[in-house]
């Protein structure tokens, strides 16, 4: 005979099963909000009244569980809505949109950074970092510091424009 799991419901009580979202309680976790859609789960729990104390007890069962005599699960937390077949087919068949043509803004930003308008993300980022370090105002004093501060602002603004138009985050 196998040993009973600790805190598992006794076999002679009425047990109900529920799927619940939970908050883990870790300080930096995304689940520390009042919005239940960002909580973990849903997980299955068993609930019963303890015959000795009369208190409500619970037991974690797991994420994948089919409760005995459970009604079909309602649509809700943790389940993705399936799009109708027509929408899904249309999305699959739609050709990818061409990259937007931005003309002078993208070209001006690329020129200021000294990049081609089709440079790779890694090369562009490396170039921007190099320019940012070379023109950082903390490396200079006096009048040259003010000039470098203005140049650093221009470089960062050009980098933001370049990233935006290339679709990088």
Q: pLDDT higher for 73 or 112?
A: 112
- Residue 72 is predicted with a pLDDT of 59
Q: In what order do the strands lie in the sheet with 56-62?
A: 16-22, 40-49, 56-62
- Identify the structural domains of the chain with CATH numbers, from first to last: 16-81 (no CATH), 104-166 (1.10.287)
Question: pTM here?
Answer: 0.41
pLDDT tens for 52-90 read 888 988 888 887 777 666 555 555 555 555 555 666 666
Could you report the per-residue pLDDT of 123-167, keeping only the tens digit for each? 999 999 999 999 999 999 989 999 999 999 999 999 998 898 888
Choice between 133 and 107, residue whose per-residue pLDDT is larger: 133
Q: What is the mean pLDDT of residues 10-29?
A: 81
Share the mean pLDDT of the chain: 79
CA distances from 169 to 23, 97, 113, 116, 165 (A): 29, 19, 17, 19, 10
Q: State residue 96's pLDDT score.
A: 63
């Amino acid at each position: 005979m196998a040993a009973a799991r600790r805190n598992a419901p006794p076999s002679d009580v009425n047990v109900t099963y529920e799927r619940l979202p939970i908050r883990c309680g870790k300080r930096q976790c995304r689940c520390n909000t009042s919005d239940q859609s960002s909580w973990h789960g849903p997980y299955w729990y068993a609930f019963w009244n303890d015959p000795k104390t009369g208190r409500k007890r619970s037991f974690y069962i797991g994420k994948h569980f089919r409760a005995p005599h459970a009604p079909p699960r309602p649509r809700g937390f943790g389940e993705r809505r399936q799009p109708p077949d027509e929408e899904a087919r249309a999305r699959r068949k739609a050709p990818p949109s061409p990259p937007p043509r931005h003309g002078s803004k993208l070209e001006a930003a690329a020129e200021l950074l000294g990049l081609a308008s089709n440079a790779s993300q890694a090369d562009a980022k490396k170039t921007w970092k190099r320019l940012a370090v070379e023109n950082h105002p903390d490396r200079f004093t006096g009048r040259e510091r003010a000039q470098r501060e203005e140049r650093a602002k221009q470089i960062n603004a050009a980098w933001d424009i370049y990233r935006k138009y290339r679709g990088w985050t």
